Amino acid sequence: MGKRKNPDLQIKFIRKNDGKPDSFARVYRSLFEDERFKKLSPMARLIYIHMVMHSGVNPSKFTYARGMYSKICSPDTFARAKRELKDNGFIEEVARYRSSPNIYELSAKWQR
């Protein structure tokens, strides 16, 4: 008798109603157990995970436009969460622009 494949180990794309594949973010245990992450506000944690999810294949530099966070929170709340994430070493703001999305970078400074 051969081995059966474990259905939990198969990669599946979950499609939304609009037909596009649903995206996800891989978050490691070390992040959830880190004291700096635990001290973040719930909104800052949500914004960080949302940024990780939308950072794409190369998370070194990515844009995060207003339309991405406007469904989650107000601009003032986003500004507070962004400041919290920058102060604790989770993200860095690489470039700021007035008329186009800012460029961010995921940082590993929180691990130090």
pLDDT at 85 over 60: yes
Domain boundaries, given as residue ranges, for the chain? 28-111
What's the CATH class of domain 28-111? mainly alpha
What H or E segment, with its residue span, contains residue 91?
strand 91-95
pTM for the full predicted model: 0.73
Instruction: Dump pLDDT digits (tens) for 12-66.
Output: 444 455 555 566 777 788 888 889 999 999 999 999 988 888 777 666 788 888 7
Query: What per-residue confidence (pLDDT) applies to 20?
Result: 56
Q: Which two tokens stand for residue 80?
A: 């507070």
Say which amino acid occupies 102.
N
